[in-house]
Structure 1
Amino acid sequence: MAMDPRYQPADLSFQSSSNFNPNLNNPDSDSNHGRNLSGQTSRTNTWVQTPGGPYPMDQNPNFQNFGPNQQQDYFQGSVNANGYPEDVKGKGPTYVTERSVQPTPNETPRESIDLEKEKAAAEPHDPHKKDPNQPWMAFGPRLKHFTWAWYTLTMATGGIATLIAVQPHRFPGLITIGAIFYIVNLFFFAILGACMVLRFTKFPGTFKESVTHEREALFLGPFFLSIATIITGTQKYVVESYEASHPMRGWIVTSMAIAFWVYVFMTFCLAVFQYSFLFAKHTYMLTKFMPSWLLPIFPIMLGGTIAAVIAKDQPVGARMPIIAAGLGCQGLGFTMSIIMYAHYIGRLMQVGYPNREHRGAMFIGVGPPSFTALAFIGMANALDDDFDLQGDGLIDTKVLRTLALVSALFLWVLAMWFFMIALIAVSPIIFYPQDYQLIDC
């Protein structure tokens, strides 16, 4: 079968014979296998397509004897100094002939059958109201999406119970109110724990997915923070309810010390391994920084808060190691938070506030300085009145308590600044600025 003369060999230097035929009608070639019988390699079958040529298929011109003009006429394009076609791909404009396609007379536009979308397009949905078009979801599918973020409920409830217990201005019934919050927190924690266990057993594989997910895994922190609030609440509402001479008080105090050391070990492992996993497996853009990225370091930071609450009732031999460990944990958490704050402020300066449904997370930034201020004062007050750090006869307790108070004031103002920034971010004037107009004075 003869080949179109527009197909030419890419490299003609192998052919020394003057009988070269670009149509593969070479007497020295095997037409069945497409290879040269004289020992030529398979590159003799490499062909390039040229735009066309003026020679009919029944002629066999000797290409090597062509002059430059003839070669250019043959390839219908430019050739180089050696007589071969130049690669002009991309060097000239490409013209595409456009043709309009006319619909057939019987063709009609497709009618939309998605009435919900048409209704939503006609009436935009208010995000602050329940969507009437949202389908009903059974308990099973909802349980599959029951995430670690639910533990922010017990984290907040337990925190309120602890704050009520440490209020300096007391009134009758204050401890009762705090105890109610403490019991409700235990009830919520048990319900959330049962739902999480049911989720992991009903849907195998969801536990691994939850701890490796780029967003849900960040909320492992609130689970441990809820445990921290339970420990501090137990100290305030259980341990301190016993008299110093009560026989049950001794083993409860020891149990609190054991719970502290177990908590510190687990949260330190969480801070190390979770951040290592995030660094290796996920990519977070700094222009999308959110304070929730701080959550894996929060649990170890609250080790200082736990130490500040339980150290005062511990024996002297166990008190100082707890205070030292709590100070180290607080320093680790707060230092990492300060490093993260640089990216946080940079994100706000570069791209502005997050989306309005995410702005509530900005209040997470208030936690590190406020927790640290509380821990400094609590650990300083837990020191003995005759504490001598260097053993030189000078009492260091008053000096350390003064430093703790000054540092706490320093950090409290920083926490207030972050709180006001978050409060303004979630205010209606930011959500709906078109409803508010500035009046020129």
Structure 2
Amino acid sequence: MTSRTSNPSDADTDVGIEPHNDEVRFIDRLEHFTWAWFTLPMATGGLSLLLSAQIQPHTFHGLETIGKVVYIWDLFLFAVVTLCITYRFVHFPGTFVGSLTHHTESLFAATPLLSLASIIAAIARHGIPSCGEWLIVVYRVLFWIYFAVSFIAAVGLYFLLFTSPSLKISDMTPAWDLPIFPFMLSGTIAACDQAVPMIVAGLTAQGLGMMISVLIYANYIHRMIQYGFPLPGSRAGMFIAVGPPSFTSLALIGMANDFPTVYRAYFGGEDTTIQILKVGATMTAVFIWSLSLWFFCISVLACLAARQEMRFRLNWYAFVFPNVGFTIATISIGKMFHSPAIGWVGSAMSMMLVITYLAVGFNHVRALLRRDILWEGKDEDTYWSELHHKTHGHEANATKDGRV
């Protein structure tokens, strides 16, 4: 198999054509191991955060153990995915640069950092309570390294995207928001530690990420008004839009709750400052959370409308990861208002996410065995072929019935 990642324009002529040799070794299939595979540890890490006794409003004996097992599973998946994509880049020359310049695969180049964000944040939930003070120091060091690297990535990836613009508004999906997502999650990581410099840095990152997301939302809504919903294969990615306001809401509440009670008198008396921060954070969180609710409902309806045409892709993990933020934000708001009803809603949402994760994982394994992914003409070639197909007449026909 020869690599076409570095030259996606060639993929449109070969999509759907499998190699003549049906006995292709699995190791050779790794040529098509894309950045999007990191959505698997992303979703798993988010689930390990959700299954924490510190987050869940209703716990039971063994919940913390389950959360730790999921976290260990996440670490294993992250290591395996990292090894596989490293093998691709080393053994198939040109694929690394090609992946970063590819019109659609490059949008997922930030997913390794997103996976690391959930891994680091879960240290505070599953590691620090068991390991003690030394891990707090490690956590803070990891935060600052992640903060710097994710900012560089946010600038660099968008620079590459803007340098050779090939995508059009008609191709718009919330995946365009992914390069800024890792830096934004610095706020979520900062919300787990009582350190003012980290909280200030986290708030800065969260603010930038949310503002960039709002700008992208404007184009996204423009795209849907003018061209309709994305194609069925891309609709799972619509849930990515649920993430930014959700994670911003939970980060604001988390940082307000973790603001140290003993500090320099930045804003006056300690008790008054803490109270104002919590009230302001909660009101702002509710205000922003409503946008997540709207995007969630739109995404659900869009996917249900196209359910018979949807086939598994790695973007199906968007059913899980953004909605983890949505669920934790809901639970956090319920705790701030001392609302048992919202707590039960959050518990129900958590159970649904566990079921969704298992269902997506089952379809992932089945698609891998059936060669629907990690195969010639699939993965990085699929998205480009859809864009090419649209430019050759499909877009004009689909616009008439609103199914672009």
TM-score (norm 2): 0.68
Q: Report the RMSD for the aligned CA atoms in angstroms.
A: 2.0
Q: How does 1:327-406 map to 2 (within 5 A)?
A: 327-385=203-261, 388-391=265-268, 395-406=272-283
Alpha-carbon offset, residue 358 of structure 1: 0.7
Measured in 1, the distance between the counterparts of 2:227 and 2:30 equals 35
1:274 aligns with 2:274: no
- Counterpart of 2:296 in structure 1 is 419
- Gapped regions of structure 1 (runs ≥ 5): 1-130, 243-248, 313-318, 433-441
Could you tell me which of 141, 152, 156 is aligned with 2:43?
156
Alpha-carbon offset, residue 328 of structure 1: 0.2
Could you tell me which of 145, 166, 173 is aligned with 2:62?
173
Question: SS in structure 2 opposite 1:171?
Answer: coil
Q: Deviations over 1:391-415 (max 9, x none)?
A: 3677211111011111111222211
Aligned residue type for 2:180: I
Contact map agreement 1:286 1:343 (CA 8 A) in 2: yes
Alpha-carbon offset, residue 389 of structure 1: 3.0
Could you tell me which of 217, 226, 242 is aligned with 2:115?
226
The verdict on how the C-alpha distance between 1:392 and 1:234 changes in structure 2, with shifts beyond 3 A counting, is closer
- Gapped regions of structure 2 (runs ≥ 5): 1-17, 310-404
1:235 aligns with 2:112: no
Q: In the comparison of the two structures, how many residue pairs are matched?
A: 288
- Counterpart of 1:407 in structure 2 is 284
Measured in 2, the distance between the counterparts of 1:403 and 1:137 equals 58
Contact map agreement 1:303 1:329 (CA 8 A) in 2: yes
Could you tell me which of 75, 80, 85 is aligned with 1:191?
80
Q: How does 1:36-435 map to 2 (within 5 A)?
A: 137-165=24-52, 166-242=55-131, 249-309=132-192, 311-312=193-194, 319-385=195-261, 388-391=265-268, 395-428=272-305, 431=308
- Counterpart of 1:67 in structure 2 is none
The verdict on how the C-alpha distance between 1:430 and 1:176 changes in structure 2, with shifts beyond 3 A counting, is closer
TM-score (norm 1): 0.62
Question: SS in structure 2 opposite 1:385?
Answer: coil
Measured in 2, the distance between the counterparts of 1:339 and 1:134 equals 47
- Answer 1 or 2: higher relative contact order, Cα 8 Å, separation at least 6: 2
The verdict on how the C-alpha distance between 1:389 and 1:233 changes in structure 2, with shifts beyond 3 A counting, is same
> Which of 1 and 2 has greater Rg?
1
Aligned residue type for 1:414: L
The verdict on how the C-alpha distance between 1:180 and 1:347 changes in structure 2, with shifts beyond 3 A counting, is same
Measured in 2, the distance between the counterparts of 1:136 and 1:385 equals 64
Alpha-carbon offset, residue 429 of structure 1: 6.5
Give me the identity figure in percent.
43
Measured in 1, the distance between the counterparts of 2:197 and 2:48 equals 26
The verdict on how the C-alpha distance between 1:179 and 1:271 changes in structure 2, with shifts beyond 3 A counting, is same
Contact map agreement 1:369 1:414 (CA 8 A) in 2: yes
Alpha-carbon offset, residue 221 of structure 1: 1.4
Q: Deviations over 1:270-320 (max 9, x none)?
A: 1111111111122221122111000000000000000012x13xxxxxx00
Q: Deviations over 1:211-247 (max 9, x none)?
A: 22221111111110100111111221111123xxxxx
Contact map agreement 1:221 1:295 (CA 8 A) in 2: yes
